[in-house]
Amino acid sequence: MAYQIKITLRGIDPPVWRRLRVPGTITFEQLHQVIQASFGWLNYHLYNFQLGSTVFAQGDSVYTDEDLYGAGSKRLDPDANLIGAFLSKGDELVYEYDFGDGWIHDIVVEKQLKELKKYETPLCLGGARHRPPEDVGGIGGYESFLESIRDPKDPEREDYLRWAQKDTGGRLFDPDYFYIDEVNSRLEHVLTDTPEFARSLLAEGQGLVGVLEMGWVGPLVKSGDQVFDWGRLGRLVSMLDDGVPIAIRVVAPPRRR
């Protein structure tokens, strides 16, 4: 079984949204990773899912589940529960990312799809607009940010634009930016690029060994049947613990004659 879901970031107009196809065999933790990749979030804040009175979240060492989610709620481990055991067509659930900024994503299950083998890799089917910068200060902070970058005379404009490059890969921040091929490039490996894979690829043995080539949007490393662009390598490096030594050895491609 697989699902077609639509995810809309609450409180922003025009809306920021993605329509995705996801396998029902993934956990809620993996669904979190899929949403992060589809919106381009940087994945360094906490999250939870809420489906009715059921909450999928990691436990807290200080507060009880009742303190956090209210009486009658039931918390389940997102790593241990498959979405296919809980979701049906028409269901609505909420995904919250970054409890400081409080980014609420409303999710609607639009379709259930039976042929799983066709849909094992998550895919973006459509969407619109770029998500806000990380740590911008929630909806109010984002509105102030947009007001500043749209005013050429604002003294903070240039600083804001430089700061937001962490969220764009170096591009000038554009709230209307959406490129579906870029989203699907991130989704292609989202279920296989795990911390364990990152460690085995970059921090064990000889590390990553390959040929450096130029792709359509920048340099990339080809190693066997795998291709690692700069964005993918950056995401893999971010999965490693601080201070872990890594090795990347590349050679230039043969010159064309």
Write down the pLDDT at residue 118.
76
| CA dist., res. 189 & res. 26, Å (int) | 14
Spell out, as residue ranges, where the chain has pLDDT lower than 50: none
Model pLDDT, residue 257: 64
Closest of 78, 84, 132 to residue 104, by C-alpha = 132
- pLDDT value at position 256? 67
Which positions ≥6 away from 195 have C-beta within 8 Å?
239, 240
Nearest Cα residue to 148 out of 140, 157, 139: 157
The pLDDT of residue 4: 98
Tokens read off for 217: 């949007």
**Looking at residue 169, what is its pLDDT?**
86
2-126: CATH topology is 3.10.290
> Furthest-apart CA pair in the chain: how many Å?
72
Domain boundaries in the chain? 2-126, 131-175, 194-251
What does the buried/exposed string (b/e) look like for 124-142 if buried means 16 or more CB atoms within 10 Å of the residue's CB?
Answer: beebebbbbbbbbeebeeb
Q: Is the peptide bond before 23 cis (omega within 30 degrees of 0)?
A: no
